[in-house]
Structures are given as C-alpha cells and as structure tokens.
Structure 1
Amino acid sequence: MSGNVLRYFAGGNTAKGFSHLYDSNLRGLDRVFILSGKSCLEKKILIQKLMDEWAEKDIKLEALHSPNDPDSLEGLIIRDLGFGIVDGDSPREIGKGFVGDRWETVDLDAMDLSSLGAATKKDIIQHTANRDRALDNAYQSYAEGLRVHDKWEKLYIDRMDFSKADHVSDRLILKLLSKESTRKDRTSIRRFLGAATPKGPVDFVENITSGLNKRFFLKGRAGTGKSTVLKKIVVEAEKRGYDLEIYHCGFDPDSLDMVIVRELGWAVFDSTQPHEYFPSRKGDEVIDMYELAVAPGTDELYANEIAEIERQYREQMKAGKDYLAEAKQINDQLESIYQVHMDHSRIDEIFSDIQKEIKLLAKD
C-alpha cells in the first residue's frame, strides 16, 4: 500500500552546511536503531529491506530519503509502533537532542581494514578526503548562492507594503484556524520540504500533501514574505494546540517552506522554484504575495538587475549540484572498495533480528 508511505528529507545540503532535523522526527519513539558503519550502502540496503517487508502492510510508514542519493533511504519510521531505524553516522549526530532508554546503536562494520594492503588503505584515505572536499565546495557554492539570493530579496523588500502583507497573513490565519484544537498533547515535527541533491533539487510535495482537502499555494518573488506568512501560521497554530508538520527550506534552513495541520486537512506552502506547483485538484488555492503586497511594476523597474542576479544565482546552484555529483561519484568508488571486504551475511542476521523486534511491537 504505497499510499501509506510518507516520504521526506530529514537532512539537507544547505547554504549553511549539512543541516538535519532527525531528532525532531525520532523524538517520542520507543525503539530506535541507530546504524553505524563505514559503508553507507550497507545501511541503505538494510533499511530498504525493512521498508519492502512492511510497505504492503496496512500500517503507516515514514521513508527518510538521503539528500546525497535521493532514490535511497537513510531512515524508516513506523510511528504507530514507536519504531525507527536511521543512519546515524556523521554528519547527522543522531540523538544529541534526545535518546530513549531503548535506543540502540548497531555497528554494521564486518570488515577488518587492518588486513588491507597499503595501496588500498591509501585509496580509502584519498577518496574520503576528496569526497569531503567536494561536499565542502558544494556548501560554499550554496552559501554564495544565498548571498546572491539576499540581493534578490532586497529588491522586492524595498518595494513591499508590509501592512498589506500583514493583512494577507491575518486573513489566511482566520480562514485556517477558526477554533481551538480539542487535542491535549500538541506535537510539532520539523522536516525539509526538499533537498539539494546530486540530481538537482528534489521534493515530495505531492506525496506529503496527498489526502489533504485544502492546499494553499504561496506564490511571489524572493523576499515577498512567504516564509514570514508560514512562521506566523506556526505561531498561531501552536497557540491553538494543533499538531504541526513544519517543513524547512532545503536551501536556507532558517526559512520555512510548508506548514501542515492534518487534523484540519490543509497545507500552506511556498510554491515557487525549485518546488513550483500549480492547482490541480479541488480545494487548491493560489495566494500571490507579489500581486497582493508589492508595488506594481517592480519586475519591470529592476528587470536588468533581476536578470543578472538570477544568472549569478543559477550559476552557484549548478556549481553546488556538480560538486554534490562529484562527491557521490567518489563515494561510489569508496563503496566499491568496502563491498569487496564486507561480510554480507551479517546484514541478513541484523535484518532478521530487527524484523523480529518490529513484529513483537506490532503484537503489543
């Protein structure tokens, strides 16, 4: 039942380095396995095997995709069972915010690197350094892209009517949150709406918003207050006691891109590049912050400046993507070395043990 799988990113390659929200998603889970080991591939294989086992069952799953390989998983959560499993190696730092009594680290390393030849050890060290350097270069490119983006925003901020923007926020909040929640225990979970990956920007908007009755598409140029509107919705929804899913920007993690209250059946999200969507079903509604709160003619007034800024921005985004692709290519070379020396039967044993634990949780 693929409709029971919620797909998202809990970590991202951002303009402020690698940023993650894993603890927010794992908090409250009773039984969590934190995977460790040199090979990322082995961890992905284990998590995917568990995913395949439970995907067709009548139970809700959460698939945490890898920003460095978006077709692969780096985590799986079965929230109704209080179960989670996630790649916990650097740079994720899983568990610093909270660790439960039944959280367990599982070391998947089943290879003796001391037995490797000098040339192979040298290759591992060199590949690791080259991969990390490529990732650092990606983060520097995105950081420069953010500085360019700030210039882009300023053009529109200077032409913004903030009283009109506040009016848009107030009217939307009144429409979304007309009453208090009846729930006693409020939870807020933070994730990323999308991620910068070796393939370019990737998101799961259609999956995340599946089943919701109302979707509000925030349109507008950079700096027209979309993230501010979302932050105001979060504050008000928290006051009224609703459970929240808060999705951060995969480029600038300090900004928000989406807010969901599933209890009320709605989502509000930044629907501009690189996650631009248009109304496609009943209940979809566009809110254009440029049209509603920016002085008319701003695009035309700054057409030349905007074109140059956009060129610089796209240049940095492409550089970042290329560096991420380089890092993945190098990491694939590392994996090819590790795979020769792995004891793959150990993965099968660990899978069997964890599968038994999940089945016991399902019986409770």
Structure 2
Amino acid sequence: MSEKILRYFAGGNTAKGFYSLYDTNLAELERVFVLSGKSKKEKSNIINHLIKKWNDFDYPMEIIHRASNPDEAEGLIIRKLSFAIVDGDHPREMGKEHIVAQWETIDLDQSDRTADLNDEINEVIDLKVKIEQSCLHAYKAYETGLKVHDEWERIYIDHMNFDLADNVAKSLISTLFKKPGAAANKDSNIKRRFLGAATPIGPVDFVDNLTEGLSARYFIKGRAGTGKSTLLKKIAAEAEKNGFDIEIYHCGFDPKSLDMVVVRELGWAIFDSTLPHEYFPTRPGDEIVDMYELTVAPGTDEAFAEEIANVEARYREQMKLGKFYLAEAKKYEDELEAIYSKVSDHAQTNLMIEELEHLMVNQSSHS
C-alpha cells in the first residue's frame, strides 16, 4: 500500500470565481499528462484507475479532488516518479512557464465518437449554458457573502489589540522554529493548495488527512477579523526566510486569505480551526491558539451580540444560496454526462489506460 496519500483541492469555487492553484503543484515534474475532453467523468475514471493501480506500490501519492464533485479525482501526482496526470480543461489554469518537453496533452475527443452527439447537440449546448449560469450565480452569492463577512470582521478589528496580536505571532514563530532543521543553503519549495472547497454538497475539507502523522498541530480559534490569516502569512514568511519547504493552503472562500501552513520538515501544521473546518484537539501535540481570547477586548461578543447575529444570518444565507447553485450546476452536469456516456468508446479508453500504465512503469524504472 502507498505509505501516504495526501488529498487536497487545486481549484475552488470562491468569492473570486473559480480559482486555480495548479501551477506550484505541477512545477518541476518531468512527465505530466494533461487530459482534455468533454466528459469529466471519463477523465476521473482514467485517473482513478491509475490511483488504484499504483496504490499497491510504495510511492506517496497526491490526489487532487474535483470541487464540483468532491468524490471524484481530477489529478494524481507521484513525485518519486516525477509524474502527474490531471484534468487540464477550463476553468483550470496551468502556467506555460512550468510546461517542459515531456508534458503531453491527451485529447479524449479526437476520435470520431463525438460525431454521434449531433442528434443531441442542442441539448448539450443548452446544458452547458445552464451549468455556466448556475456557477456564476454561485460565485455571485459567495462574492456577496464576502462583503457581508467584511462587516463581520470590522466589528472585531475595531476592538482588537494589534500589539497583542504581534506578540502572539512572535511567540508562535519562536516556538515553531526553535527546532533545528534543514533550513540552510536552499530555497523554499512552496506548494499552494486548498485544504477544502465549497461543493454541491456543502463545504468539504481534508484537514485530518493533511495533518496525519505530524507531531504538532496548532488550532487557531477566533472570530472573523481576529488576525488568523495574518498570523498564518507571518509564519509562512518566516518558513520561507529560513529555507523550509512549505505547503500553503489558501481559504476556499477568499483565496487571498490563508487557512493552513504545513512544514513537514519540522513536523507541524498550524491552521484556521473555525467553521466550516472546525476541529478540536484529539491527540498529543495538539494545541489551541485562541485569537479572540488573546487579542480582542473582553465582552466584545456580548456588546455587539445583536449586530453579530444579524451579520452572521445574512452571511449564512449567501453560503446556503451558493451551495444551492453549485448543486443545480451538478444536476445539469450529471445530465450532460449521461449524454456523453452514450458515445463513450470504452475500448479506446482502456487502451489509453494501458499505454499510460506502461509509461508509468518505464518512469519508475528510471526513478
């Protein structure tokens, strides 16, 4: 069995629209297959087959999940083989600066099988339009929700002691980086990802998976606007300054904010442990850092209880609306996949899988 599988999202449904963080995760890989084709399900099936095949070997794997259907994979990375296979279609973005000679696009629609769609082409076009419109409605709801969230943050920002917040950061940085490690004579390797995503079934996260096996986990608690993301940015900057490899997990709601920083060389993770990814200590090495208790004027919750309740209700309504529209988009996608399945060439797909397996075996023999 694979010694470790990391699960995360590289693209998310956010208040800034669909946001892609693929680039840093594919950088420096020698062999990358970029799948292109109408059917998301077919691409996921190919990736899932390779995951099952290589799960019996002792290679750590990274599985990239699909925000529109979190049970499906849209990418597989095996770094020991310098190999990846990913769904490369819109709206994902992969910077050309990372593409090297052995990157290859596989067009699943190049055969004549798509000609059989002619009878249903109008229905296909109509469903694609509906999917796009539903997603845009979802992003608009999240955008509105972010503006409401800014109101929520302002309540606490106005009653926060920034000197105390700076002291919390300095103390944590001292604790996190006191252990000697491989921090000299190299540049940081930074991977940017999402630990969770807004999906048609609601928020989904992989915090437990991503922090498994680490000796220390720091759970940042606090209200909106109490400096959780700012604290994480300071810690990430310190890790980079000292030359540690870093996993930076962006907020799936507002990608300009951070949700988690992991430095595996030092054995720790520190993350925003509030809804929708609220966790509590369960094992030795777990510790809570409560930014509300440490930095905000006592009694703020009580003094502004009515205003906070109003803002929170409006925020939750927008999150509920966003989920509704993502679920609507998923319904249309399922109808579209049902049409595509009628013309799927399973024999051709199986041949493609066999060829990919052969290439991966050759890659492993040279690794």
Normalising by the residue count of structure 1, what TM-score does the alignment of the two structures yield? 0.97
Q: Which amino acid aligns with 1:172?
A: L
Structure 2 residue aligned with 1:12 = 12
Structure 2 residue aligned with 1:47 = 47
Structure 2 residue aligned with 1:159 = 159
Q: 2: CA distance between counterparts of 1:85 and 1:117?
A: 30
Q: 2: CA distance between counterparts of 1:14 and 1:116?
A: 33
**What's the offset of the Cα at 1:114?**
4.0
Q: 2: CA distance between counterparts of 1:306 and 1:52?
A: 48
Misfit runs of 4+, over 2 Å: 93-97, 110-118, 182-186
Q: Deviations over 1:70-123 (max 9, x none)?
A: 0000000001110000000000022434211110000011454444444x1110
Query: Is the 2:116–2:343 contact (alpha carbons within 8 Å) kept by the matching residues of 1?
Result: no
SS of equivalent to 1:287:
strand
Q: Deviations over 1:161-215 (max 9, x none)?
A: 0000000000000011125614624201010011000010000000000000000
Q: 1: CA distance between counterparts of 2:117 and 2:350?
A: 24
Q: 2: CA distance between counterparts of 1:100 and 1:321?
A: 38
Residues 1:297 and 1:97: Cα distance change in structure 2 (over 3 Å): farther
Q: Which amino acid aligns with 1:195?
A: A
Q: Which amino acid aligns with 2:232?
A: L
Identity %: 56
Structure 2 residue aligned with 1:308 = 310
Q: 2: CA distance between counterparts of 1:96 and 1:299?
A: 48
Q: 2: CA distance between counterparts of 1:280 and 1:3?
A: 23
Structure 1 residue aligned with 2:32 = 32
SS of equivalent to 2:351:
helix
Structure 2 residue aligned with 1:91 = 91
Structure 2 residue aligned with 1:148 = 148
Query: Is the 1:23–1:97 contact (alpha carbons within 8 Å) kept by the matching residues of 2?
Result: no
Query: Is the 1:195–1:251 contact (alpha carbons within 8 Å) kept by the matching residues of 2?
Result: yes
Q: Which amino acid aligns with 2:231?
A: V
Residue 236 (structure 1) aligned to one of 210, 235, 238? 238
Worse-matched range after superposition: 92-101 or 204-213: 92-101
Q: 2: CA distance between counterparts of 1:115 and 1:170?
A: 64
Structure 1 residue aligned with 2:344 = 342
Unaligned runs of 5+ in 1: none
Q: Which amino acid aligns with 1:131?
A: I
Write out aligned runs for 1:1-364 (5 A). Answer: 1=1, 4-109=4-109, 110-118=111-119, 120-178=120-178, 179=180, 181-182=183-184, 184-364=186-366
Q: 1: CA distance between counterparts of 2:118 and 2:107?
A: 23
Q: 2: CA distance between counterparts of 1:267 and 1:302?
A: 33
Query: Is the 1:14–1:252 contact (alpha carbons within 8 Å) kept by the matching residues of 2?
Result: yes
Normalising by the residue count of structure 2, what TM-score does the alignment of the two structures yield? 0.97
Query: Is the 2:216–2:286 contact (alpha carbons within 8 Å) kept by the matching residues of 1?
Result: yes
Q: Which amino acid aligns with 1:226?
A: K
SS of equivalent to 1:71:
strand
Q: 2: CA distance between counterparts of 1:47 and 1:289?
A: 41
Residues 1:111 and 1:329: Cα distance change in structure 2 (over 3 Å): farther
Query: Is the 2:34–2:104 contact (alpha carbons within 8 Å) kept by the matching residues of 1?
Result: yes
Query: Is the 1:30–1:83 contact (alpha carbons within 8 Å) kept by the matching residues of 2?
Result: yes
SS of equivalent to 2:226:
coil
Q: 1: CA distance between counterparts of 2:112 and 2:255?
A: 37
Query: Is the 1:111–1:342 contact (alpha carbons within 8 Å) kept by the matching residues of 2?
Result: no
**What's the offset of the Cα at 1:3?**
5.0
Query: Is the 1:230–1:258 contact (alpha carbons within 8 Å) kept by the matching residues of 2?
Result: yes
